[in-house]
Amino acid sequence: MLLASAVVVWEWLNEHGRWRPYSPAVSHHIEAVVRAGPRAGGSVVLGQVDSRLAPYIIDLQSMNQFRQDTGTLRPVRRNYYDPSSAPGKGVVWEWENDNGSWTPYDMEVGITIQHAYEKQHPWIDLTSIGFSYVIDFNTMGQINRQTQRQRRVRRRLDLIYPMVTGTLPKTQSWPANPGSAASPPTPPCSCPQCVLVMSVKAAVVSGSTGPLQPPAARKNMPPSGAVKLPPPPGPGAKPLDGTGTIRGPVKTVPSQASRRQTSSTAAGATAGSPASPPGANGKTGRVALATLNRTNLQRLAIAQSRVLIASGVPTVPVKNLNGSSPVNPALAGITGILMSAAGLPVCLTRPPKLVLHPPPVSKSEIKSIPGVSNTSRKTTKKQAKKGKTPEEVLKKYLQKVRHPPDEDCTICMERLMAPSGYKGPQPTVKPDLVGKLSRCGHIYHIYCLVAMYNNGNKDGSLQCPTCKTIYGVKTGTQPPGKMEYHLIPHSLPGHPDCKTIRIIYSIPPGIQGPEHPNPGKSFSARGFPRHCYLPDSEKGRKVLKLLLVAWDRRLIFAIGTSSTTGESDTVIWNEVHHKTEFGSNLTGHGYPDANYLDNVLAELAAQGISEDSAAQEKD
């Protein structure tokens, strides 16, 4: 039976037939594109969220991952898991490989290990799910049952995978349109870009390196003219040397060889990246690429051009046989590579520049924000609340259940009619008492809820582990720091009619407190001060006011492991996205972004912060 709420994990199929999970950060990125619908373009550039995945693009229409430098295609899927399982709690189980780096287990394996870990089992045998390994929790080791070889394993916390609620489909296409019939095949296009795409596709199918002349191309070329198209370069292929022969009216200019070498090298620079998840079997990938239709190929071309721009590869206005003409920037990257491979002249220009900061602003130009008091806010170390026991706190949110239903407690995974299976420090309540949360109606052992509260911030709030409904006022573990905010006399892209709100976060390194992952250990604070930007519009000021509430509740930052650098015990963002790019949007953290303000309002609401938050702060 499909769940009413679930966490979404995006996965790709490896060469051994195993579905491998993308990281939580990548899954959030893919899910954001899916929720944006067709206006997002139908493709996901993975390098925008993880630089190690720069060669990869996901085409949501065909549900395939495409590797640009080898042409490898791999299926992807959008899978659902229980919110109380490992991905719903941000738990990742990993094993140490021969290189000394850590590799996450398949999602089903990680969930099985976490389930045994939560039940306080000393070990778990994975034979029942098809793996000849035993995980020993006492030594945190993986033992091969056949060879007795041991590897280290570890359990770490990461972002929680994205949550969805409502009726969940068993399968999903993009965009969702179940009532639409299959569209009739469209006639082939005769534009130069499509002729080149279809020519390369034909070369992949036939494996021929001889002349390729689709009918539409033959009409426009002299009888004696023929262009030799070499096969697409595989991993490790050498860049073109500019010696390809061309017969016809086109002559190779002297500088063309170096230009072709530049574009060819850049296109294959990331081949064989050790951090890339899929294999680099270019042969099978190119055959699979040949099965895509013209629309899917063009969509991959559009996404590939985004990667080229974001990674610093020059954009390519193309000179065709009849002179100079502009090409749609979205197709310029792939068109330039294809035309370069065909020996046609290509002119390179510089890409758009990354603009992180506004032009210099004098002190006299910086103004306070109307309707917002002060221009800065500080946080200090957390002050422990006294007086109420966990049982007294939870009593406000619970109703006792005299006759529990015949189902599992999703915290300890024991039946509600049986005593709680929690084996940690003993709460003072009886293990067989059952309670129902008053607003969402989910039922748990009260014993388990008290234990969960004791393992949290103990701030007087409780969050339902199933649906994430917040009871009370949720606070976080943000370390001490300062938040400044003011107006600057410049406009953001997409918001020409208003000034800009600049937010500056400053957090120094320090020592972790009792609420942090490793109390007493030092933590780092990279990249501070961090500058963020909002439009000075009505909705922009609303977002700022709610960000101030989030800052006061210590929910903007946390201490954990960076998803970009892998560094542990460092200050990280805490699931409320900020725009840190002022004058461009090459990294995905800038403007224009028509949905950003609505998205960040939804993220703040998920943390329990809405327009009535100010009133709750006073209570």
- Beta-carbon contacts of 265 under 8 Å, excluding residues fewer than 6 positions away, are 239
* 3-state class (DSSP) for residue 12: strand
CA distances (Å), 174 to each of 36, 44, 161, 240, in order? Answer: 11, 12, 20, 37
Write down the mean pLDDT value for the chain.
75
pLDDT of residue 397: 92
Among 139-153, 277-291, 458-472, name the one with the lowest average pLDDT: 277-291
**DSSP-derived pairing of the beta strands 133-136 and 102-104:** unpaired
Q: Say how many C-beta atoms besides its own lie within 10 A of residue 65's C-beta.
A: 23
Residue 526 or 175, more confident: 526
Strand 91-96 with 56-59, pairing:
unpaired
Question: Is the domain defined by 390-468 classed in CATH 3.30.40.10?
Answer: yes
What are the boundaries of each domain within the chain? 5-165, 312-319+327-351, 390-468, 481-616
* Amino acid of residue 608: G
Q: What is the pTM of this model?
A: 0.47
Per-residue pLDDT tens over the stretch 289-312: 555 555 665 566 556 555 554 544
Do 309 and 333 contact (CB within 8 A), yes or no? yes
Q: What is the pLDDT of residues 9-37, one digit of tens each?
A: 999 988 777 889 999 999 999 988 888 87
Round to whole Å and give the CA distance between 339 and 384. Answer: 66
What fold characterizes domain 481-616?
Enolase-like; domain 1 (3.30.390)
Residue 177 C-beta-side C-alpha neighbours within 13 Å? 9
Identify the CATH class of 5-165: alpha beta
Contacts of 401 (CB under 8 A, 6+ apart): 416, 434, 435, 436, 443
Position 64 scores a pLDDT of: 87
Beta-ladder partners of 512: none
Kindly write down the DSSP assignment for every residue of 530-597, as one continuous string.
Answer: EEEEEESSHHHHHHHHHHHHHHHTT-SEEEE--TTT--SSEEEE-S------SS--SSSSSS--TTHH
Q: Please, are residues 203 and 179 in contact by the beta-carbon 8 Å criterion?
A: no
What are the Cα distances from residue 370, in Å, to 375, 487, 579, 586?
11, 9, 21, 31
**Mind listing the pLDDT tens digit for each residue in 514-545?**
889 899 999 999 989 999 999 999 999 999 99
Q: What is the pLDDT of residues 35-88, one digit of tens each?
A: 887 766 678 888 888 888 888 888 888 888 887 766 678 899 999 898 899 999
422 band by pLDDT with thresholds 50, 70 and 90: confident
- Cis, bond preceding 514 (omega within 30 deg of 0): no
Question: What does the DSSP 8-state code read for residue 51?
Answer: G
Confidence band of 338 (pLDDT split at 50, 70, 90): low
